[in-house]
Structure 1
């Protein structure tokens, strides 16, 4: 997981502009630290005492996004997650700082910040919850998040 948060997901980078005239750029997240990179997935209960078909796990992330190149500009930051070979993977998160809490499905991207870039680095602590379909998971999987920024017209 930590390796993915540091940019190992270059194989799938969604470069779809969120607004007309916007430019999309990859954001350096190499300063990000995953506190517990080996997520222990647990069965979701469908009935008391019975395992469901879903698996869930949680991890804490000290997110550090280097946005110095866009300081003084305005834009929207997104978290991206490539499609999962094991089927639908969902991630939700809470934040403790300037970033937005949210939910993301593998293969999509989700807004985490919108507005002016006033500093060189955006920092936040995220609590990520990962959910997967247990019937489709065959082995352990690396989750490779990355981050993008869509800049507004100057």
Structure 2
């Protein structure tokens, strides 16, 4: 199976946020190759506003896993790092979202690729722009995916 390039969004707003991002990347490296990392950005919460600021970043990975298997592994990592899903868009130790996965489109109840709200989220787009070709707009880039 050919390795696919995927972009992931990582976010944390509980505890030692930077440490949770580092731990998540360390865990992700155990299952796939991390090939690029953006800077870390501090951002205001979206949706549920009654919570602390987030640290967000985007990473690029190369993987032989399927999108579904990646999601399964990322949910295990989130659980291992103390993520509790009590409030939609609520506080979390770590959040790992698959933004894109090569040219693959997935439309399943538990997984949508490309991420359906990524174009609305500055906390995703700004770090993502660090990792893609500087001569392209997001729109041009997504058409190539």
TM-score under structure 2 length normalisation: 0.33
- TM-score norm. by structure 1 comes to 0.31
Higher strand share: 1
Find the structure with the greater CA-based Rg. 1
